[in-house]
Amino acid sequence: MKGKAHKFGDDVNTDYIISGRHKFKTLDMNELAGHVMEDLDPHFVKRLKKGDFLVAGKNFGCGSSREQAPLALKHAGVAAVLAESFARIYFRNSINNGLPALVCDTSGIDDGDSLEVDLEAGVIRNLTKGTQIESPPLPRVMLDILSEGGLVDYMKKHGRLALD
Amino acid sequence: MIIGGKNSLGKTISEKILSAHSGKDARSGDIVIAELDFVMAQDGTAPLAIRSFEGMGGDGIAMAGKAAFCIDHSAPSPLRAISELHALMREFAGKYGLELNDVGEGVCHQVMLDKAHALPGSLVIGADSHTCTYGAVNAFATGVGSTDMAAGLLSGSLWFRVPETMKVTVSGSLAKGVFSKDIALMMVSDITADGATYMALEIGGDAISALGLDGRLTISNLAVEMGAKVGLMEVDEKTLAFFKSRTSDRFEPVSPDPDATYQEAREYDISNLGPQVARPHAVDNVCPVEEVEGTVIAQGLIGTCTNGRLEDLRAAAEVVKGRKVARGVRMIVAPASREVMLNALREGLIEAFTEAGASVMCPGCASCVGTHQGIPGDGENVISTANRNFKGRMGNPEAFIYLASPATVAASCLKGEITDPRKVM
């Protein structure tokens, strides 16, 4: 995966990712996708190109359990979110919906940097700066869910969760 | 700080509950598949859960008699599109036999408690981040997304990472005009918005024992605002009295072992604590009320899953009884559930609010989530008893939200500016 970094700070909460004033009224993720991050950056959706990365500091996705947050980001074209840490409900939701969430040191990534992400290897190459950072591997159960494309397809295939 | 040791045999409350529900010797850091005792979703999350359930090929539920939908976030519906989502929930609940708590039943978390769906020692998931509230009655209860809820509903189990635990001990006695919300905000201020991420809290101490159940629920409700998975407390006679009239189901309260291993421990003495306020736009942006006194407010909200219970309404009514809300201020009161509303009516609290000039809403989330019942105007300050003050939370990114106790919010509504409740009580 290759794309540009869109940099945000710490504690980006789910209300900022997709506000409650939009999310309660529709299941149409393409409609929600037009509003992601708008309270922090009204022009984000216009600047985002399909395959770009959202890069943040610590505690990304804190706040509500709304699954519309990762879903709307995915529908807006975000390929993966890179952050120093994630809030736990958001992290589960992101993996459950097939949107990769990588924990890594994002301090050296600036807005607009070109990144190349190797999910399998957990390696992020900053093509603009010529640097490389690593992301620790996900627990087995999350990798299994991601490899099925998300929890819906996983459950459809397996019927229930299993550890081996 | 590690209490116990890595080789200690003792277990925390979380480790015990997850062991009992997974059939494994569950230790912090382990991943287990655990059997669920109850699953819940509300109208902001249930429609997506239904879509996920259907995508999974679900044609029956494993959680018969142990699943509920609650319509509380936009209730009654303010929009045609939301009415359609509510209709979808009613149809699904009818088809698969889920308990439906329709408009007016109350905030999902209070309904789960009033109806004794979250029992001591049980394992509960809810598609709402404040599901952590039931930790106050010793349930390992945690918020999940819609798809996790759907998987639980369909199969009866879910995977969990067994959390590390932070032990929080609160001692001392509360001064007049200071309440459990002030303890909770002080804790969020100290632990910060992500200081307990992925952890369980075990909260105890003589100050917690002295609180009623309503006050304890307020503290556990804010666990997620510190990043925690759940805010657990032990059972005492107050907890048992709460369940006695509500259920004949057997349950087993869980206490931690004396040699359990804790990731971290924090101790607080609240004897000198004064009223606290969280300033915009972060819950951990807390200060003593004195620092923001005089800030002009346009709206006050008393209610929500944080502070919409009977003790909260009593504290607010005591402040406003026989007085008038300041000109230009909208005071909104929303009891947390039908049961709370009925009790508040019987005690004359609703009359006191209405005479003072407040608007009383039907039980539910009210304006906390920004869909209806009091969206603030541009540039306006709101003081609320809720748990979140993020920019845009109440439906307007140009508004400013302050969080405080019911007494502080009520006092502020009387003066039209943020007010120390001790000055009007």
Q: Let me know if residue B150 belongs to a domain.
A: yes
Domain of residue A38, residue span: 2-158
Residue from the list B73, B128, B197 with its beta carbon closest to the beta carbon of A87? B197
CATH number at residue A74: 3.20.19.10
Residues B223 and B317 in one domain: no
Q: Let me know if residue A114 belongs to a domain.
A: yes
pLDDT at B1 exceeding the cut of 50: no
- The pair of structure tokens assigned to B187 is 């804790």
CATH number at residue B166: 3.30.499.10
B-chain CB neighbours of A152 within 8 Å are 52, 55-56, 147, 150
Amino acid at residue number B222 = L
Q: Let me know if residue B5 belongs to a domain.
A: no
User: The pTM is what?
Assistant: 0.95
At residue B30, the 3 state secondary structure works out as coil
Assign B228 a pLDDT band (cuts: 50, 70, 90): very high
Per-residue pLDDT, averaged over A20-39, amounts to 87
Handedness of CA B361, B362, B365, B366 (dihedral sign): negative
Whether B229 contacts chain A with CB within 8 A: yes
pLDDT tens column, B230-279: 999 999 999 999 999 999 999 999 999 999 999 999 999 999 999 999 99
Domain of residue B77, residue span: 13-252+259-267
Residue from the list A21, A27, A39 with its beta carbon closest to the beta carbon of B47? A27
Of A63-72, B70-79, B133-142, B315-324, the poorest mean pLDDT is in A63-72
Residues B137 and B238 in one domain: yes
Residues B146 and B292 in one domain: no
Residues B114 and B92 in one domain: yes
Residue from the list B85, B144, B390 with its beta carbon closest to the beta carbon of A16? B390
- β-pair partners for B171: B269
pLDDT tens column, B41-74: 999 999 999 999 999 999 999 999 999 999 999 9
Instruction: Measure the CA–CA gap between A66 and A23, rounded to whole angstroms.
Output: 8
ipTM of the complex: 0.92
Instruction: Measure the CA–CA gap between B121 and B356, rounded to whole angstroms.
Output: 42
- Helix A88-96, helix A140-147: angle, nearest 10: 40
pLDDT at B4 exceeding the cut of 80: no
Q: Let me know if residue B205 belongs to a domain.
A: yes
The residues, any chain, with a CB within 8 Å of residue A103's CB and separated by 6 or more, are A83, A84, A85, A86, A135, A136
Task: Establish whether the linkage from the previous residue to B86 is cis, with ω within 30° of 0.
Answer: no
Q: Into how many domains does chain A fold?
A: 1
Contact by Cβ (8 Å): B328, B361: no
Residues B125 and B83 in one domain: yes
Q: Into how many domains does chain B fold?
A: 2
A-chain CB neighbours of B157 within 8 Å are 160-161
